[in-house]
Structure 1
Amino acid sequence: MKTIVLIGLVLAISGVALARDLPEFIHVCKKNEPNLSECIKSSIINMKPQLKTGVPDYKIPSLEPLILKELVATAGGNIKLKLTNVIIHGASDFSLTKLKANLETLTFVADLDLPRLSLKGNYDVNGRIILLHIRGNGPMEGNVTNSKGFVKIQMKEYKKEDGESYLKVAEIKTKIFVQDGALHLQNLFGGDPVLGEAVNNAINSNFNGFVTEIKPALESAISNAFTDIANGILQQVPFKTLFPES
Structure 2
Amino acid sequence: MTIWPLVVAAGVGSRMQADRPKQYLSLDQRLLIDHTLATLLGYPRFEQLMLVLSAADPYWPASEFASDPRILRVDGGAERCYSVLNGLEALAELAHEDDWVLVHDVARPCLRHSDLDLLLADLQLPGAILASPTRDTMKRGRLAVDGSVEIDHTVERDQLWHALTPQVFPLGLLSRALKQSLADGFVVTDEASAIEHLGLAPKLVAGRADNIKVTRPEDLALAQLFIQQARAVSTTSNNPE
TM-score bracket relative to the smaller structure: under 0.3
TM-score under structure 1 normalisation? Answer: 0.26
TM-score under structure 2 normalisation? Answer: 0.26
